[in-house]
Amino acid sequence: MTLRGYTVPPDAIYEKQVKEVVHAKIKNSLAFTGFIRKYHDNIPLPPNENDDISTHAINHILNSISVKLLKIIVNGLDVAVFNVYIYPPSKNYKLHSKWISMLRNNIYTMTEGAGSPLKTPYHCNVCCGEDHPTGLCAFTRLPGWIDHSQHATNDTEDEVVVDAVAAEVPIKTLIAVVVEAVEAAGDVGDTTPTTSNLLGAIPFSLLPSPI
């Protein structure tokens, strides 16, 4: 989930404070701890057989909490929001959705303000992540990244189609197609539909590559 509303500058030093607030909220809430005690099928077994599995599950989740600053721009100003990552207690989709709903329906307060979760998370159109908008996707900053938002030209699309045909259509099938086309068109000058002529009529990109 992503928390916003804290009156702090966009500095990573505040990640620790936000983490402590979220940690305390889950640890001291009977709703959260009760949920974990009841549903913890996604938590690995404790190292010792005698350990209480419910207590182990709660501690496992509390220890998994991590917080990362995300700097966004609002009305021309740098604003700090914080992404919170927590190990989910259950693999069951409905229970996981309920867990997420519980987290998003709480307020996480500290001296620097109240952090409220985004009701609708971000959706990145590049990587489909939910912790950043599309414009802040780290993938787009990789060396050599190609912007797929630009539509291909017709020539490029035609080349892609030709390459796809070359990968899937056997050469004998292509020759048969050309033979049929020549026979349908009739004789043209001295052109005879020999194998060599037919191969010459096939675009080079359609010929199979050597293995």
Query: Residue 172 above 60 pLDDT?
Result: no
143 burial via Cβ count (<10 Å: 0-12, 13-18, 19+): exposed
Query: Residue 16 above 60 pLDDT?
Result: yes
Among the residue ranges 68-72, 95-99, 197-201, the one predicted with the least confidence is 197-201
Higher pLDDT pick, 100 / 174: 100
pLDDT at 178: 45
Tell me the backbone φ, ψ of residue 153, rounded to 5 degrees: -75, 170
pLDDT, tens only, 25-57: 999 999 999 999 999 999 999 988 888 999 999
18 burial via Cβ count (<10 Å: 0-12, 13-18, 19+): buried
Tell me the backbone φ, ψ of residue 49, rounded to 5 degrees: -60, -30
Query: Residue 10 above 80 pLDDT?
Result: yes
pLDDT at 47: 87
Give the residue from 171, 182, 157 showing the smallest Cα distance to 204: 171
- Token duo for residue 9: 């500058």
CA distance 4 to 50: 41
pLDDT, tens only, 75-130: 889 999 999 999 999 999 999 999 999 999 999 999 999 999 998 999 999 999 99
The average pLDDT across 149-153 equals: 57
Higher pLDDT pick, 70 / 190: 70
Q: What predicted TM-score, i.e. pTM, was given to this entire model? A: 0.68
Out of 126-130, 145-149, 158-162, 174-178, give the one with best mean pLDDT: 126-130
pLDDT at 179: 47
